[in-house]
């Protein structure tokens, strides 16, 4: 079936590319034409479903860091650990759909039990469920009792590292996640600044993953872990908070920043939708300033960012990705146009996705339609009218009760 969406403007995705009075023509799950309304309209068949809006058509949003197994409320870890497979699978599917109804057409999950997210991914791809495009890591590699050991990815030594990666590949993982440093929320595990793997072990992880054709996402808070992950050649660094050894404060290493940029490794800072409350309650004023400083410092070094939310953690909900994007405009000071590019084309590229994150013939029909102009006002992304997930129309929560003509 064909669908034609016409709007005041089509935001194609890559920086600077927009078509005023434009249209997008979708054929099944694929975009077949994009351009000026008059030209594209001519290619639409009589039976085509037509949607005309005053605002903007843009690629669906990409959230590069979520945990669909967690329910985003306090006590989520206890509930996760008590849940059986059926409960987890239903929770994962429901949260993925909630994200989709808020305009997110691609989610990358970076840690679950036994690859359950990958089973939901498969069900969506088979057409058993409506949902966003899912990428998943399965259980992240971590040392015995290390950060997030409860996902089941504990490894000790090269043999177990190889075996875990083989198992994740067999589960159908899209990416290998390694907990290069400690993290929060795992009682008794190493502190955030501390490395959990040696440089040689990280080399092995990257070597094995790349040999299997998979990218590597490294969780790294400590500067030592960031440096080792960079030298090993990981594909994305999660959090990347530059913590000095033994809580000695920020340790921003020039040589490592230059290397991250030179290797084109993307950094996912993973900040929650309600970042204002998060800063007030968790990070504090001084901490928030330090976060901004390191983002600006990384930006000055030409490091590429990919947005993500760590959704699933308490208060980091799945249906307000736009809130998280507003951080980069309102706190960091980047233009809305830059942030829209980062959350669509840029994120798809960082995740190694071809034909996603852009509106162009042959690309997946992952499309978001909003009122207003998100290139000048990021909050326009809240005013959602229609979402297409591989051509399948979904009514966004924001549009329930509205009429889409």
Residue ranges that bind Zn ion, judged by CB under 5 A: 310
Nearest to Zn ion of 10, 275 (CB atom): 275
For 90-215, where are the E strands, in sequence order? 104-109, 133-136, 176-179
Burial call 92-109: b when 16+ CB within 10 Å, e when fewer: bbbbbbbbbbbbbbbbbb
For residue 67, the minimal CB distance to Zn ion (Å) is: 6
Q: 219 near 147, Cβ under 8 Å?
A: yes
Cβ proximity to Zn ion: between 310 and 366 the closer is 310
Alpha-helix runs per DSSP H in 243-370: 254-262, 275-278, 284-300, 321-330, 336-341, 347-350
CB of 118 to Zn ion, least distance (A): 17
Cβ closest to Zn ion, residue 59 vs residue 182: 182
Minimum distance from residue 95 beta carbon to Zn ion (Å): 14
Tell me which residue has tokens 């999950």. Answer: 109
* CB 15, min distance to Zn ion, A: 28
Residue closer to Zn ion, measured from CB, 56 or 69 = 69
Q: What is the dihedral of CA 70, 75, 81, 83, to 10 degrees?
A: -70
Alpha carbon distance 182, 173 (integer Å): 23
Shortest spacing between CB 307 and Zn ion, in angstroms: 13
Residue with the closest Cβ to Zn ion? 310
Residue with tokens 């309304």: 37
Pairing mode of beta strands 384-389, 392-394 = antiparallel
Closest CB to Zn ion among 310 and 319?
Answer: 310
- What is the length of the chain? 405
Closest separation in Å from C-beta 253 to Zn ion:
23
Give the nearer residue to Zn ion in terms of CB position, either 259 or 310.
Answer: 310
- Smallest gap from Cβ 65 to Zn ion, in A, equals 6
Q: How far apart are CA 393 and CA 295, in angstroms?
A: 36
Please report where in the chains the tokens 């326009």 appear, as a residue: 380
Phi, psi (5° rounding) for residue 170?
-65, -30
Of 224 and 310, CB closest to Zn ion = 310
């Amino acid at each position: 079936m064909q669908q034609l969406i016409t709007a005041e403007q089509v935001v194609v995705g890559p920086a600077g590319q927009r078509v005023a009075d434009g249209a997008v023509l979708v054929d099944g799950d694929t975009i077949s034409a994009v351009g000026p309304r008059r030209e594209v309209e001519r290619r639409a068949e009589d039976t085509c479903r037509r949607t005309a809006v005053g605002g903007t058509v843009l690629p669906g949003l990409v959230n590069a860091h979520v945990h669909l197994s967690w329910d985003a409320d306090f006590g989520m870890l206890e509930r996760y650990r008590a849940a059986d497979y059926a409960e987890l699978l239903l929770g994962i599917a429901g949260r993925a759909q909630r994200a989709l109804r808020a305009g997110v057409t691609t989610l990358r999950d970076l840690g679950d039990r036994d690859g359950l997210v990958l089973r939901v991914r498969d069900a969506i791809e088979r057409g058993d469920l409506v949902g966003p495009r899912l990428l998943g890591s399965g259980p992240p590699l971590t040392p015995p009792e290390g950060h997030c050991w409860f996902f089941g990815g504990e490894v000790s030594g090269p043999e177990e590292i190889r075996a875990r990666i083989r198992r994740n590949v067999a589960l159908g993982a899209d990416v290998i996640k390694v907990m290069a440093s400690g993290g929060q929320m795992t009682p008794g595990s190493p502190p955030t600044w501390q490395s959990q793997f040696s440089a040689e072990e990280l080399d092995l992880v990257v070597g094995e993953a790349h040999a299997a054709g998979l990218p590597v996402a490294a969780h790294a808070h400590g500067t030592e872990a960031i440096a080792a992950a960079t030298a090993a050649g990981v594909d994305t660094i999660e959090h990347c908070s530059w913590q000095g050894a033994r809580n000695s404060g920020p340790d921003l290493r020039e040589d490592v920043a230059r290397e991250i940029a030179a290797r084109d490794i993307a950094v996912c800072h993973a900040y929650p939708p309600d970042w204002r409350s998060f800063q007030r309650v968790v990070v504090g004023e001084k901490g928030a300033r330090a976060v901004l400083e390191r983002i600006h410092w990384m930006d000055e070094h030409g490091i590429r960012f990919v947005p993500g939310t760590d959704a699933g953690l308490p208060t980091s909900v799945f249906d307000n990705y736009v809130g998280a994007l507003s951080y980069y405009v309102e706190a960091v000071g980047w233009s809305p146009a830059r942030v829209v590019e980062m959350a669509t084309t840029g994120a798809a590229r960082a995740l190694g996705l071809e034909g996603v994150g852009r509106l162009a013939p042959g690309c997946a029909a992952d499309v978001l339609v909003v009122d207003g102009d998100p290139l000048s006002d990021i909050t326009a992304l809240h005013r959602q009218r229609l979402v297409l997930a591989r051509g399948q129309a979904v009514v966004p929560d924001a549009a329930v009760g509205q009429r889409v003509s």
